[in-house]
Amino acid sequence: MQRRMLEKFNGTQAMPVRLFTSTSALASASAFVLVLAAACGSNEPPPSPDQPQPAVPNLAGQDVMVLPAQPSPGGIPAGFDAALSAVLETEYPSVRWVLPVEIDRAVARSPTLGIRPHALPVSVLRSEEADRIGDPLYGDLRRLGAIVDARYAVIVHRVGYVAPADSVGASGRIEAAVAIIDTIGGRILWRGLVAGERGGADDEVVLATAVRAIARMIAPAQ
């Protein structure tokens, strides 16, 4: 009767609607709910430099620009870029490194590009799900790579001195989040977390061991 009333109201033949449920559909929905609940209740620890890191692509023989370390909570450790540059340049010569000082000079010669190498839009690199970058970061790196003749980019997108949260008075260390990007296409080739030895915030050894750890991670074995 309800169907006839609808037909009369619309003045047209009502189109039949088929409602169904199946065992397979209900099972799939139940499985999805269980997976979602498990994900929400996951007790997995957050990523740490102490965990095994993904394999790094071999950059031997490649042209690679090393961007300045990006702004981070607590500030970038003093001398970080210069220390990392020195280690890469002197100890890993199988790669043609385009270092922050050279990048700054190239950008200064091309101010119309509007690129800010010390303040890049790197938020996408902090998403574990992202496997490719888009604009504006992609456009910045693509143009930078073109003017310095380097296809690959290394970005330290977060770095700082980190003291243990559960140990009062314990020594901290410098931890860095690093990414390697193919500027042609914007694919994120690698992301990892690296840390140096523990010590005081002003200890030169803390900085030296951190930049050496980063260099060992991203550079080809000598």
* Domains, the chain: 2-40 (no CATH), 63-218 (3.40.50)
174, two tokens:
């410098």
**pLDDT tens-digit map of 56-98:** 999 999 999 999 999 999 999 999 999 999 999 999 999 999 9
Q: What is the pLDDT of residue 36?
A: 36
**Mean of the per-residue pLDDT values of the chain:** 84
Q: What is the pLDDT of residue 45?
A: 57
pLDDT band at 28 (very low <50, low <70, confident <90, very high): very low
- In this model, does residue 22 exceed pLDDT 80? no
Q: What is the pLDDT of residue 167?
A: 65
**pLDDT tens-digit map of 123-151:** 999 888 899 999 999 999 999 999 999 99
Q: What is the pLDDT of residue 9?
A: 38
In whole angstroms, give the CA distance from residue 169 to residue 167. 6
The full DSSP string for 63-117 is: EEEEPPPPP-TT-PPTTHHHHHHHHHHHH-TTSEEE-HHHHHHHHHH-GGG---T
Residue 111: is the preceding peptide bond cis (ω within 30°)?
Answer: no
Q: What is the pLDDT of residue 11?
A: 47
Q: Among the listed ranges 17-26, 56-65, 82-91, 208-217, which one has the minimum average pLDDT value? A: 17-26
- In this model, does residue 212 exceed pLDDT 90? yes
Contact between 115 and 142 (Cβ < 8 Å):
no
Q: What is the pTM of this model?
A: 0.78
Contact between 95 and 60 (Cβ < 8 Å):
yes
Q: What is the pLDDT of residue 17?
A: 36
Contact between 140 and 120 (Cβ < 8 Å):
yes
